[in-house]
Amino acid sequence: MTRPGNIARNTLFLYIRMFITLCVTLFTSRIVIGALGETDYGIYNVVAGVSTSFVFFSSALSTSTQRFFNFEMERGTPQRVRGIFSMSLVIYGTLALLVLAAGLSLGEWLVSDKLVMPPDRRSDAYIVLIAMLLSLSFMLVASVYESVLVARENMKLYAYLGIADAFGKLAIAIAVIYMPHKLVTYAILMVVVQLLPYVIMVLYCRRHYPETRLQWFWEKGLFKEMFGFTGWNVYGSVIWMVNEQGISILLNLFFGPVVNAARGVATSVNNAVNNFSTQFFTAVRPQIVKRYAAGEDDSLKSLVYSSTKFTIFLLWLLCLPIMLRTDYIMHLWLKSVPEWTVPFVIWTLVYTMVNSLNNPTYTAVSATGHLRYSVLVGSNLFLLAFPLSYAALKLGAPPMAVYPMLIAGRFAFFIVTISRLRRYSSVTYRDYLLKIGWPVFRVLAVSGVTMYLLNSIVPQNLAGLAGVVLCSLPVSAACAYVLGLSAAEKSFARSKINQLIDKFRR
């Protein structure tokens, strides 16, 4: 079983990937907004969002397949690992066809009859939709190979492909400046860049991992277990899609594509920030499954607690200075800042902080194989965010009013997930509050108040921004270390820092 040393090594690869892609992605977004303009950028975000929302199948299936891979790898049954791969490809391929058919029919109706956009842009918007759906259908099938890559904990290749993807998108953004039909050209070139890493991943896995070599395999009991487990993951992802993309459509219907542009900017910032915690948790996820499979309850509980705290603290390191200086950062980053961008960015970051609580606990529940209650109850509570958002907007609320609904829904989902995890592990509410809730509250409160007071006396200019960032990072890190980590976690952090220092000295 891979232990903390490998988790740290894998996390390092992912953070190198994240840092490079963060810088490139933010620069790319600025170029794209300038090249397309607010209207076309808003259209691209809402239409591409309609198509990419169908990638929930890919995410749900990838998580499901990875769970089964890790279980059988831990138990040492390579024949069943190959069988899981073969059966997954059949399921993925079937669902890819269904996704393509549903996306084309639903997307045409939305683009033609519902979405608010200039009439002369509708044909371009539909071409964007078709291009993205074809890309996503292939990515859906290819993502079973991604499950193998993550289950094998090959984060080095994962990092290289992410970096190549980021630079490819930068090249496209620059090229679009000089091309006609910018919206369509950008969408088609984006499809090409998105597919290339998956093609490379498929070829690599087929060459290096024997379980990815196709063979006929059928086991009724295993298929039933996989399909049932996947079904609940897909159901939960459908709810996520309805809320996330449904609310984007609501914003388009009530306020037009300019507000979608503002939300697109907020999403770009959020994706860049969220990569910090996502890359860390990508390295941790296989270990949660393996420790449950091995029956190591205390180790599982410790990893869930530690990964939750580290995820939140890593997010907070970036979120705090951005929240304090959102307006200045947006005007420094973009030539023209769409209306509502600043509150959208702040609310999106708060939403992501709350949502990050779910990752370790949901992964642990997934490892048990008992998803039905968590998904059925938690996801339906989360779904209430959509009708509540519609009611609020109908009554004249501003566009950012959708975020409190989303935040409340995700927190309700988190509470339901914790309640189920208690049934299959030694996790308790009291433990969670004492070992996660109280330390996280102290860190966020002390560092937040400290930096708020400091920010109020620092001028709103480039030097002031640099000062706030340079102060915020060590203040947040020090608070996390002193107030947020247990003695064992402090010892682990010190050992890894010392290892990195020794490597640099060599």
pLDDT for 408: 92
Query: Residue 399 has which token pair?
Result: 């566009």
pLDDT for 56: 52
Angle ∠(399,400,401) on CA atoms, nearest 5? 90
Q: At what angle do helices 78-109 and 122-151 cross, to 10 degrees?
A: 170
Of the listed ranges 94-103, 319-328, 341-350, 352-361, the least confidently predicted one is: 94-103
What residues contact 477, with CB distance under 8 A and at least 6 apart? 317
Model confidence over 259-318: pLDDT tens digits? 877 887 787 777 767 666 666 666 677 778 778 877 888 888 888 888 889 888 888 988
Q: pTM above the 0.85 mark? A: no
What residues contact 501, with CB distance under 8 A and at least 6 apart? none
Instruction: Please identify which residue in the block is written with the tokens 């938690």.
Output: 378
- Do the beta carbons of residue 211 and residue 82 sit within 8 Å? yes
Rounded to an integer, what distance in angstroms lies between the CA atom of residue 95 and that of residue 139? 12
Rounded to an integer, what distance in angstroms lies between the CA atom of residue 264 and that of residue 344? 9
Model confidence over 402-419: pLDDT tens digits? 999 999 998 999 999 998
The H or E element spanning position 444 is helix 438-457
What residues contact 55, with CB distance under 8 A and at least 6 apart? 136, 139, 140
Instruction: Please identify which residue in the block is written with the tokens 């090594």.
Output: 9
Average predicted confidence (pLDDT) for the chain: 78
What sign does the dihedral 148-152-153-156 (CA atoms) show? negative
CA 383 to chain centre: 19
- Do the beta carbons of residue 20 and residue 166 sit within 8 Å? yes
Report whether pLDDT(453) > 70: yes
Model confidence over 105-131: pLDDT tens digits? 777 777 777 666 777 777 777 787 787
Residue 164: closest CA among 212, 199, 117 = 199
Query: Residue 18 has which token pair?
Result: 């994240």
Model confidence over 225-270: pLDDT tens digits? 777 777 777 777 778 777 877 888 888 888 877 787 788 778 777 7
Q: How confident is the model at residue 20 (pLDDT cuts 50, 70, 90)?
A: low
For the chain, give the number of residues: 506
Q: How confident is the model at residue 491 (pLDDT cuts 50, 70, 90)?
A: confident
> Which value, to the nearest 10 degrees, does the dihedral of the CA atoms of residues 82, 88, 90, 92 take?
-150
pLDDT for 369: 74
Report whether pLDDT(391) > 90: yes
pLDDT for 279: 61
Model confidence over 357-375: pLDDT tens digits? 888 888 888 878 777 888 8
DSSP character string of 473-497: HHHHHHHIIIII--HHHHHHHHHHH
- Do the beta carbons of residue 405 and residue 389 sit within 8 Å? yes
Q: How far is the first Cα of the chain from the last one, in angstroms, to the nearest whole number?
A: 29
pLDDT for 439: 93
DSSP character string of 110-157: IIIIIS---GGGHHHHHHHHHHHHHHHHHHHHHHHHHHHHHHTT-HHH
DSSP character string of 191-203: HHHHHHHHHHHHH
What residues contact 286, with CB distance under 8 A and at least 6 apart? 2, 66, 70, 150, 151, 153
CA 446 to chain centre: 28
Rounded to an integer, what distance in angstroms lies between the CA atom of residue 319 and that of residue 324? 9
Of the listed ranges 93-97, 212-216, 340-344, 437-441, the least confidently predicted one is: 212-216
Q: What is the mean pLDDT of residues 457-484?
A: 89
> Looking at per-residue confidence, does 351 or 162 come out higher?
351
